[in-house]
Amino acid sequence: MNFLCLDFEGVLIPEIWQYVAKETNSKELMLTTQDLKDYDELMSLRMKVVNEKNIKLSDIQEIVRTMEPFDGAEEFLGWARQNFQVSIVSDTFYELAWPLVEKLNFPTIICHHLEIKNDQIVSYSLRQNNNKQKVVEALSNLKYKVLAAGDSYNDINMLQTADKGIFFQAPQHIKDEFPNLLTADNHEDLKAHLLEYT
């Protein structure tokens, strides 16, 4: 059976930090990996904002609990799990994403950890550098054919390393930079791209 690696935010759920930005009136938190290519730069900005505004982990978790997966995401994920070995491979953090993982019936997710002290986010710990690509490489080394879908700059290495990489609702400026990758505008489009591998 083939393996499917899915980004989380932008493919199955909305961007967590953008919800936080709206709820805390923090415009800088609207930036995502669709805007900045350097993930460390993006996370350093986020750490700066949450500390300056005294936004606690519990504040963010409360916001995340109000979020819902994209329309059609649960149905798509159910179909995918019937036809592939599926793992979410994300640059989110377990401490933030878990309420939404629960709403999708606990799919496997490989992501990072936040470092917390007295409810304050003090730093973050990456599982490994370039984690998404390395997950695909590891699965390929196990003789799986690997398919992948994502929407942002931090997905490019994963998508280009996979046997088939698909942009999901990626912004036009990213699609223009990488015209070799397939595109899907919704979960039905994504399913159609994947059908030949079922």
What pLDDT, in 10s, does the model give residues 64-100? Answer: 999 999 999 999 999 999 999 999 999 999 999 999 9
What tens digit of pLDDT does each residue of 92-132 get?
999 999 999 999 999 999 999 999 999 999 999 999 888 99
pTM over 0.95: no
What is the rounded CA–CA span in Å between residue 56 and residue 39?
A: 21
Residue boundaries of the structural domains of the chain: 3-16+67-197
Each residue of 44-71: pLDDT tens digit? 999 999 999 999 999 999 999 999 999 9
What are the distances in angstroms from CA 117 to CA 31, 43, 98?
A: 25, 17, 19
Rounded to an integer, the average pLDDT of 136-164 is: 97
DSSP, residue by residue, the chain: --EEEE-SBTTTB--HHHHHHHHHT-GGGG--TTT-S-HHHHHHHHHHHHHHTT--HHHHHHHHHT--PPTTHHHHHHHHHHHSEEEEEEEEEHHHHHHHHHHTT---EEEEEEEEETTEEEEEE-SSTTHHHHHHHHHHHTT--EEEEE-SGGGHHHHHHSSEEEEES--HHHHHH-TTSEEESSHHHHHHHHGGG-
pLDDT score at 36:
87
Domain 3-16+67-197 part of CATH 3.40.50.1000: yes
Which residues carry out catalysis?
Answer: 7, 9
Structure tokens at 129: 């550098």
**Model pLDDT for residues 3-57, shown as the tens digit of each residue:** 999 999 999 999 999 999 999 999 999 999 999 888 889 999 999 999 999 999 9
